[in-house]
Chains A and B, each alone.
Chain A
Amino acid sequence: MPEPLLAATGLVKTFGQVQALDGAAFTVHPGEVVALVGDNGAGKSTLVKTLVGAITPDAGEILLDGHPVGFAGPREAQAAGIETVYQDLALAADLDAAANLFLGREQLRGGLLGALGVLDKRAMRRRAVQAFAELGVELKELDAPVATLSGGQRQSVAIARSVAWASRVVFMDEPTAALGVVQRERVLDLIRRVRDRGVSVVLISHNMPEVLSVADRVEVLRLGRRVARFTAAQTSLEELVAAMTGALTHEEGDTP
């Protein structure tokens, strides 16, 4: 078994009376799609926020390449090559796709103009075209505000943005939740392409058939703990649901 890319153990997080994480564990291997599933309130969102630096856990350890890390904020996680695609997209709807791709990471012109904060729009556009092409994202108009794009295209822009900057892991929170059948299929293809480029994907989803079709492994969270791990090819819908509802606990392969 290769060394995990990201390994969290014993994560604890309490909000007031609510114990969101109760010794949770999670593992991401290099170049895989791993699905994180669990019923509502299982702690998925809190776990993800903890792993991407948006929340500081009360206890527990996160190892990146075997070294303990403590991200003080999403920026630090991003610097380590960890990106997040949020459920609500988090795009600036009035800006175009290239502007969104570079939001917060704008490239400036050289020399005096750069010192004045003038953007290098041409270079950013060129890189955006390249980034979208690499992922097979087709946008009719690169200069249109993303608000005018379809839901699937917007999701593709959001994913492309994360992938463009992520060198290690992309977390995707329900990336297909608001999409139609065709668009959903496209996003799943996109996820596979991201993995094929060597970037691991953590997929949070409620859609079990989707999870089984795209994920290499599945980790199940229940009441703030990891209760089961499966290889996607060797499990079934019934097994996943049983694990989510607590009827089954199951650990495959290595034990934490």
Chain B
Amino acid sequence: MTVLRALLRRTRGQNTLWTFLVLLALVAVFSALRPNAFATVFELRSIATESAILVLLAVGQTFVIVTAGIDLSVGSVLIFSGVVSAKVMGALGTGPQSGWGVIAAGAAAGAGAGLGWGALNGLLVAKAKVPPLIVTLGTLGMALGIAQILTHGVDEGDVPTRLTDSLGSGSLLGIPWLVVIAVLVAAGAAATLALTRFGRYTLAVGSNTEAAQRVGIRVDRHLVKVYALSGLLAGLAGVLNLAHFSSTTLTSGTQDNLNAIAAVVLGGTSLFGGSGSVIGTVIGVFIPAVLQSGFTILQVQSFWQTVAVGAVLVLAVWSDQLRRRRRQR
């Protein structure tokens, strides 16, 4: 009984559990309303596939938000990395017939481009002390602008078919490659945040920067690493995006940063920093995705999804506020 009460007391403060219950409830409602359309392997597969790229962005965003920062640039960095990746593959290869070596070089270039933007964000935040909101708003514009300059605003489409057929739309034992990669990244990130010194420092920096500094944690260096990680994952997402859509999708992705931030916050990570979980973020990615799919199947205008997610987002931050206020005594 006391164990149960202790468990209850601990979970009451944990937003992740609530978010998970919300997700379960949504799935239950849609499944009950349209069992033949919603609760199918096909639908689950397509929701997971469409969410995989956002999972990468949101996982990186989780680390940034845990440090009490924000990374608005992820959507643009995704596009930029896709463009760099496509350009490198185009320059080295023979169009759609290019081999694996060319693909590997292109993927590395894309991931490296993302890492570069992330490191730049980190340096400006940590060393130049420019607020993260402004730094990443700036790099959001710069990354997208340079991507458009490089392509003259026209999407690159000559993506090697080996890439699009495997990572882009292929499967491993029936599970789409995109989903496999997203699961691996999320699992690795979850372990890193919860179990390692890197994760502990990330939490400490977000909780009390001054305290972290006084005990000898190199706060600025750590911030650079965290933003670089977010950039790297956005770069990787750019390569996957290129593989999935066979295009650099210059005009899409403007909402990606907000969707990633919404997922992180829905998942119970505090916008004020210091606490958060990667598992929560993954759940937070799936809530809008499930809503979208459910509304489509119910033939409700899917624009309602944006309305619902917006409302839930505000509620999530409000409940975080209440939790923080309650524990201040």
Give residues in A with beta carbon < 8 Å to B.
Answer: 74-75, 78, 86, 88-95, 99, 103-106, 108, 116-119, 121, 143-145, 147-148, 150
Q: A90, B197: Cβ atoms under 8 Å?
A: no
In the complex, chain B residues 200-214 whose Cβ is within 8 Å of any chain A Cβ: 200, 203-204, 206-208, 210-212, 214
Q: How many residues of chain B get a CB closer than 8 Å to chain A's CBs?
A: 26
Closest-CB distance, A143 to chain B (whole angstroms): 8
Of B203, B216, B275, the residue contacting A75 (CB under 8 A) is B216
Q: How long is the Cα–Cα vector from A118 to B203 in the complex, in angstroms?
A: 15
Q: How long is the Cα–Cα vector from A90 to B208 in the complex, in angstroms?
A: 7
Q: How long is the Cα–Cα vector from A145 to B212 in the complex, in angstroms?
A: 16
Question: Can you pick out 11 interface pairs between chain A and chain B where the beta carbons lie within 8 Å of each other?
Answer: A74-B216, A75-B216, A86-B214, A90-B215, A91-B211, A92-B204, A92-B212, A103-B211, A104-B212, A104-B215, A104-B217
Of A86, A93, A106, A116, the residue contacting B200 (CB under 8 A) is A106
**B198 interface contact, C-beta 8 A:** yes
- Known contacts A148-B327, A150-B329; is-contact A103 B204 (Cβ 8 Å): yes
- Known contacts A74-B216, A75-B216, A148-B327; is-contact A92 B197 (Cβ 8 Å): no
**B274 interface contact, C-beta 8 A:** yes
User: What 1/0 mask marks residues of chain B from 312 to 329 whose CB sits below 8 Å from any chain A CB?
Assistant: 000000000000100111
Q: How long is the Cα–Cα vector from A121 to B215 in the complex, in angstroms?
A: 18
- Known contacts A92-B203, A150-B329; is-contact A117 B196 (Cβ 8 Å): yes
Q: How long is the Cα–Cα vector from A104 to B201 in the complex, in angstroms?
A: 8
Name the residue among B203, B214, B329 with the largest chain A CB count within 10 angstroms.
Answer: B214
Q: A95, B203: Cβ atoms under 8 Å?
A: yes
Q: B327, A117: Cβ atoms under 8 Å?
A: no
**B41 interface contact, C-beta 8 A:** no
Q: B206, A94: Cβ atoms under 8 Å?
A: yes
Q: How long is the Cα–Cα vector from A92 to B219 in the complex, in angstroms?
A: 13
Q: B211, A92: Cβ atoms under 8 Å?
A: yes
Main SS class of interface, B? helix
Instruction: Write out the residue numbers on chain A whose beta carbons fall within 8 Å of the beta carbon of B10.
Output: 143-144
Closest to A93 in B: B207
Q: B200, A99: Cβ atoms under 8 Å?
A: yes
**B195 interface contact, C-beta 8 A:** yes
Q: How long is the Cα–Cα vector from A74 to B329 in the complex, in angstroms?
A: 31
Of A88, A95, A118, the residue contacting B196 (CB under 8 A) is A118
Q: How long is the Cα–Cα vector from A86 to B327 in the complex, in angstroms?
A: 22
Instruction: Write out the residue numbers on chain B whose beta carbons fall within 8 Å of the beta carbon of A92.
Output: 203-204, 207-208, 211-212, 274
Q: A94, B211: Cβ atoms under 8 Å?
A: no
Closest-CB distance, A146 to chain B (whole angstroms): 9
Q: B197, A106: Cβ atoms under 8 Å?
A: yes
Q: How long is the Cα–Cα vector from A121 to B191 in the complex, in angstroms?
A: 13
Q: How long is the Cα–Cα vector from A89 to B274 in the complex, in angstroms?
A: 16
> 10 shortest A-B CB distances, which residue pairs?
A104-B215, A94-B274, A92-B207, A94-B207, A117-B196, A90-B211, A117-B197, A104-B216, A92-B208, A92-B204
Q: How long is the Cα–Cα vector from A147 to B211 in the complex, in angstroms?
A: 14
Instruction: Write out the residue numbers on chain B whose beta carbons fall within 8 Å of the beta carbon of A116.
Output: 196
Name the residue among B204, B217, B273 with the largest chain A CB count within 10 angstroms.
Answer: B204
Q: How long is the Cα–Cα vector from A41 to B272 in the complex, in angstroms?
A: 35
In the complex, chain B residues 246-263 whose Cβ is within 8 Å of any chain A Cβ: none
Closest-CB distance, B210 to chain A (whole angstroms): 6
A-B contact sample (19 more), CB < 8 A, given A95-B204, A119-B197, A145-B275: A86-B214, A91-B208, A92-B203, A92-B207, A92-B208, A92-B211, A93-B208, A94-B203, A94-B206, A95-B207, A103-B212, A103-B217, A104-B212, A108-B197, A117-B196, A118-B196, A119-B195, A119-B196, A143-B10
Q: A147, B328: Cβ atoms under 8 Å?
A: yes
Closest to B6 in A: A141
Instruction: Write out the residue numbers on chain A whose beta carbons fall within 8 Å of the beta carbon of B212.
Output: 92, 103-104
Name the residue among A78, A88, A119 with the largest chain B CB count within 10 angstroms.
Answer: A119
Name the residue among A75, A88, A118, A121 with the largest chain B CB count within 10 angstroms.
Answer: A118
Q: B214, A90: Cβ atoms under 8 Å?
A: yes
Instruction: Write out the residue numbers on chain B whose beta carbons fall within 8 Å of the beta carbon of A86.
Output: 214
Closest to B217 in A: A104
Instruction: Write out the residue numbers on chain B whose beta carbons fall within 8 Å of the beta carbon of A121.
Output: 195
Closest-CB distance, A170 to chain B (whole angstroms): 14
Q: How long is the Cα–Cα vector from A147 to B203 in the complex, in angstroms?
A: 14
Q: How long is the Cα–Cα vector from A172 to B327 in the complex, in angstroms?
A: 26
Q: B327, A145: Cβ atoms under 8 Å?
A: yes
